[in-house]
Amino acid sequence: MTSPTQAPKRTKAHEPHPYIGGRDAALSALAAWRMEWPGAPRVVILTGSPGTGCSRLLTGFLMLCDPEHRMGLELDALDPATVPPDLPAPAVPSVAGLTAAQTLWLLADHYGLAARRTADIVPELGQLRSSGQPVTIVVPDVDRAGPVRGTGEPARVVRDVLKPLAALDSVRLLADVPRELAAGLAESLPPGVAQIIDLDAPEWADPEGLVLQAETLLDPHFGAPELPFTTEPDARRALAEAIARRAGVGAGSRLTVQLAVQSILMHPEGFDPADTDQLPGSVDEALDLHARRLGSHPRTLRQILAPLALAEGDGLPVPLLTPLASAVAERDMSEDMARGMLLAAPFIRPVGRAGEDVPEDERTLLGLQHPGIGEAVRAGITDVPGAQARIAIELLEAVPDQDWAKAGAYVRDHIAGHTLEAGLLPRLLTDPGLFAHADPVRLRAAVEAVPPEQLDAPARTYLRTAPLFTRTQAPATLRAALLETAFVEDGLPEYAAVLRRIVPELPWHTLWSVRVAGADAVTVGTLLPSVAPAPPAAVSDGAAQAVAVSVVPYGTTGASPLQADDPTAPAVLVQDLATGAVIDADPARIQRPSDDERATGPLGLSRGADYVRVWRRGEQQGDEQQGDEQIVTVLISATPFTGTDLSPDGILLVATESGVKALRIRPAQPGAHPTP
């Protein structure tokens, strides 16, 4: 009997999979994994070179695993060995553009785990099987992991997600992994637990499926134009066989066939089906042959495609394509671009972007048809870091008045990825405006990829604060405010001052911050000029001083112990409320605001474990009636607050276990809606 983990020989004619058009050997192995066939591996690692068809195979297999999608397929016509049993759909966390941690939280959400830390997710997944809940996970597109290409996120996903999952006996795992990472994942497991399906290997070859792919692409019933070699079945079949034979069955074969057919159908003039020299044997040859057929030099086509091969995200806004192509080529590409888009058409795809906040010139992005094209183009660039450096300079020049608030979304959110690959990112990480306005997920990922010793103080402050941005999805103004505070905390007042200047709508200005370990309760008060009880007028005369009072551990520098002979008793630290200067004063001289003074002040506050809301009095009768329109601002913290208070004139005093700070709350700007 043939082992279900080996490539079986077909003994009976069946209809090919309607989406894949072949790959029966691989589909049979995946079906055996899905049905937990005796001898089938618990972990399957799917791999292959870009363009070999891993993603397409996995998509086709998932069609068979989805109960609803199965209903639209004629399963009886397919080879029974390729059809998995009708089971609940597996978990399929799509890692494209995500970090390893985000992938784990997708799984936590899917299974409804109660985990509060990333480290708890995999152990909790390991407990699900004991409750009778199957844990079958399919992880596609690991090669596309990470919000920034140059951060090495695919390797991190393998290390932090796939290896821990694969080590759980209760988890059945199927993952699409880049070849350079596949062997390491398999070797981390005991013998027999994992199987690698390498679609470039001869045992998984599918020459008939490749012919069927070419034949389908050439068929007018599926959108091909009516040409002598597309309308006549024998001619179409002969050309399909020639294309597939020339492309081979290994590296990049599926993509090579696709590009060969697209090139022919877009520009059939002068094409001779009998001339096999006009058919490519690789993605590289597909690029070069296409350029020559259209009378262009292959270098020109590659220069047009180069900025797309180096681009981040989904692609480039159309207006950026020509200047970036000129930057990479180090010559003016305007004329080449004007007449070259028809030349590049088979390799480019437009991506539409909707939304009221999307500018008109960014509603259409241009990307490459397949990552394998980008890999082929990048391989031909002799100095990728240098090309990325020239792109970064061009992007910087595209920032109006060097104001990041006015920069286009691509420039603002993706320049970090380009400078990272150019080796120039640390030089960029001194601009508070970029910190505030750039997409925090992408910028954080890029900064974390830089060796810590290369980061200056502002970048370290950003890296410390960025988790707040990504956790709360804070808008740009709140990010700027949190950074302003962080710069003051880290002794970088000049950077805080820049943010106050360039973001005039900041909801607060940080007056001071001191690091005090173990700070507990805090309160605002007034330091009276004498110990004797003072009349109300004395509180407002020139001799009175607004102060901040913090309860701190015994022995804190500048603090007065409440019980001098008891080192276990706390102490009191008194500071000038406006400047933070420590005051040597008797706590008995401090008078707290009365309840009436607090109630008649313009602002009020409410507090959670890690947030403080400041709202305007007179606009609600109670905390439960607050609406977003009445909230002045929200202060959030990476560590729980241990104390908060608000002075009648709007100075917010807060303490955490690491320190105390005071913030001057500013009037809300018209139309501003802070995010809790």
**What's residue 530's pLDDT?**
64
SS3 content of the chain, % helix, strand, coil (to 5): 45, 15, 40
CA-atom Rg of the chain in angstroms: 32
Q: 631-636 and 611-616: which strand pairing?
A: antiparallel
Q: What is the pLDDT of residues 276-290, one digit of tens each?
A: 999 999 999 999 999
Q: 171-176 and 43-47: which strand pairing?
A: parallel
Residues 6 or more apart in contact with residue 572 via CB below 8 angstroms: 549, 550, 551, 552, 559, 560, 562, 587
- CB atoms closer than 10 angstroms to residue 11: 8
Q: Which residue has the tokens 């009175």?
A: 544
35 and 172 within one domain? yes
Cα separation, 203 vs 191, whole angstroms:
20
What parts of the chain have a pLDDT lower than 70? 1-12, 130-131, 133, 355-356, 530-543, 618-629, 668-676
Residues 6 or more apart in contact with residue 445 via CB below 8 angstroms: 99, 146, 147, 148, 151, 153
Range of the structural domain that residue 647 is part of = 512-528+544-618+628-665
Cα separation, 67 vs 72, whole angstroms:
10
Q: Is residue 345 part of a domain?
A: no
Q: Is residue 585 part of a domain?
A: yes
Of the residues 294, 319, 334, the one at which a domain ends: 294
- CB atoms closer than 10 angstroms to residue 211: 20
**What's residue 537's pLDDT?**
40
Is 632 within 8 Å of 509 (Cβ atoms)? no
Of the residues 167, 198, 229, the one at which a domain ends: 198
Is 461 within 8 Å of 516 (Cβ atoms)? no
One-letter identity of residue 339 = R
The distance from CA 634 to its chain's CA centroid, rounded to whole angstroms, is 25
3-state SS assignment for residue 500: helix
Buried b (16+ CB within 10 A) or exposed e, 360-393: eebebbbbbbbbbbbbbbeebbeebeebbbbbbe
148 and 37 within one domain? yes
Q: Which residue has the tokens 């004395």?
A: 538
Residues 6 or more apart in contact with residue 581 via CB below 8 angstroms: 575
**What's residue 8's pLDDT?**
41
**What's residue 628's pLDDT?**
43
285 and 146 within one domain? no
Q: Show the beta-strand stretches assigned E in 516-602.
A: 522-527, 545-552, 560-561, 571-576, 590-591
253 and 144 within one domain? no
| Count of domains forming the chain | 3
Q: Is residue 518 part of a domain?
A: yes
Angular region, 618: left φ>0, alpha ψ -120 to 50, beta rest: left
pTM of this prediction? 0.87
Residues 6 or more apart in contact with residue 204 via CB below 8 angstroms: 7, 23, 25, 26, 197, 198
Is 516 within 8 Å of 556 (Cβ atoms)? yes
Residues 6 or more apart in contact with residue 648 via CB below 8 angstroms: 593, 597, 598, 600, 601
232 and 136 within one domain? no
Q: What's the chain's length in residues?
A: 676
263 and 238 within one domain? yes
Cα separation, 177 vs 322, whole angstroms:
34
139 and 112 within one domain? yes
Q: Is residue 184 part of a domain?
A: yes
Backbone angles phi, psi at 301, to 5 degrees: -60, -45
Q: What is the pLDDT of residues 313-341, one digit of tens each?
A: 999 999 999 999 999 999 999 999 988 88
250 and 108 within one domain? no
- Ranges of H-type helices in 81-151: 100-111, 121-126
- Strand arrangement, sheet containing 364-368: 316-317, 364-368, 348-352
The H or E element containing residue 239 is helix 233-247
Residue 382: C-alpha distances to residues 310, 339, 377 (Å): 13, 25, 10
222 and 182 within one domain? no
One-letter identity of residue 664 = R
User: Burial level of 305, CB count in 10 A (0-12/13-18/19+)?
Assistant: buried
The H or E element containing residue 645 is strand 641-646
Q: Is residue 344 part of a domain?
A: no
Residue 466: C-alpha distances to residues 463, 481, 486, 506 (Å): 5, 12, 10, 18
N- to C-terminal Cα separation, the chain: 63
Q: Retrieve residue 552's tokens.
A: 């701190």
Q: Is residue 123 part of a domain?
A: yes
**What's residue 12's pLDDT?**
53
277 and 131 within one domain? no
149 and 30 within one domain? yes
Is 85 within 8 Å of 48 (Cβ atoms)? no
Q: Retrieve residue 23's tokens.
A: 């790959």
107 and 223 within one domain? no
User: Pick from 286, 280, 282, 296: which is nearest to 242 by CA?
Assistant: 280
Across the chain, mean pLDDT equals 89
Cα separation, 468 vs 484, whole angstroms:
13
Q: Is residue 392 part of a domain?
A: no
Of the residues 150, 173, 198, the one at which a domain ends: 198
